[in-house]
Amino acid sequence: MSEKPISRFPVPRLDTLPQDIRNRIGAVQEKAGFVPNVFLALAHRPDEFRAFFAYHDALMDKRGGGLSPAEREMIVVATSSANQCHYCVVAHGAILRVRAKNPILADQVAINYRKADITPRQRAMLDFALKVTADSAAVEEADFARLEPHGFSQEDVWDIAAISAFFGMSNRMANVTNMRPNDEFYAMGRAPE
């Protein structure tokens, strides 16, 4: 198990953190079996931590709507790979494997989503997500029109854009802080069901 620093900025000790943040961290630890490093690295700034995870949950824990949990993770993996974000590709690659119950999909999406085993609908979703990521100033009606035949609602389109935008922020914070993914993530979900 590595003992490398998980952030180039100070990482607070758990017992020094405000209670609401400790609760949040406790909850995820219980569920995952370990504390994902993003919770510790961002806890350096409690107010930003609260806003970050409130935003995250609004986008990623949303139920209903046209995007499945696995599809939401596909957007995270594809856009985080475009931003070369170590933490997000590794951690959300693991979550994607688990949610999609597919041990190879996350690597496919990370390397080149155009060659991944995905549906044409998912391909259109990721094309849009990548354009938001790489050149949002050029997004226009033609891009929205390409989503329509696949049955995405207006709310789905907002979700694709917002997930891409939010993780674009997250990728930048992880890249600047040298946020290190937990070793546990690498192997998670790799055994076929």
Residues of the shown chain interacting with a second copy in the complex, contacts defined by CB under 8 A:
2, 4, 8-10, 44-45, 47-48, 50-52, 54-55, 58-59, 81, 83-86, 89-90, 103-104, 107-108, 110-112, 114-115, 117, 132-133, 136-140, 144, 154, 158, 161-162, 164-166, 168-173, 175-178, 183, 186-187, 190-191
Q: Which is nearer to a second copy, 28 or 143 (CB)?
A: 143
Q: Measure the CA–CA gap between 80 and 97, rounded to whole angstroms.
A: 15
Q: Closest approach of Cβ 53 to a second copy, in Å?
A: 8
Q: Closest approach of Cβ 165 to a second copy, in Å?
A: 4
Q: Closest approach of Cβ 64 to a second copy, in Å?
A: 13
Q: Which is nearer to a second copy, 34 or 158 (CB)?
A: 158
Residue 46, helix vs strand vs coil: helix
Q: Measure the CA–CA gap between 94 and 150, rounded to whole angstroms.
A: 27
Q: Which is nearer to a second copy, 85 or 96 (CB)?
A: 85
Which residues neighbour 14 within 8 Å (Cβ) at sequence distance 6 or greater? Answer: 22, 25, 40
Using a 10 angstrom Cβ sphere, with 0-12 exposed, 13-18 middle and 19 or more buried, the burial of residue 146 is: middle
